[in-house]
Amino acid sequence: MDRLALHLALNGALVLTVSLFAGLFLYLAIRNDREQAAWHLLHAGGTGRGVMLLALAAIIDYPVLPMWQLSTTAWLFIAFTWTSMAAMTIRAVTGERGLRCQGSIANKLVYIFYAVATVAIFPAIALLIYGLLKAL
């Protein structure tokens, strides 16, 4: 489980780093009076996701789950984080919102990355809650 915690913490730190760089681009967008909402989302959303992974690293040994379920939970959280980060980054760079899987390649990628993130987070949180309830 120590290795799982390290993977979560490392990914959390990497996501925070991406978020910090997004903050620099947010500053440029504000300074140059350009579209800011997507950069705000990437900066704030990335920070939240990075902190989430760091917090999960601290408690990953609490849920009472078989190792394969615990690993699945952790990797689903990591997959959610990176796919949503990819979607937010493409959104910030291109302006494509990804509301439908049609149009430009960037728009389709945003849509697909958000869809994968959505599919990953629900079983991840369900497994985490189940394991924590069993730990009680």
Identify the domain containing residue 44 by its residue range: 2-135
Indicate the number of domains in the chain: 1
pLDDT by residue, tens only, the chain of 136 residues:
699 999 999 999 999 999 999 999 999 999 999 999 999 999 999 999 999 999 999 999 999 999 999 999 999 999 999 999 999 999 999 999 999 999 999 999 999 999 999 999 999 999 999 999 999 9
Residues 6+ apart with CB under 8 A from 15: 46, 49, 50, 53, 81, 82, 85
Answer yes or no: pTM beyond 0.85. yes
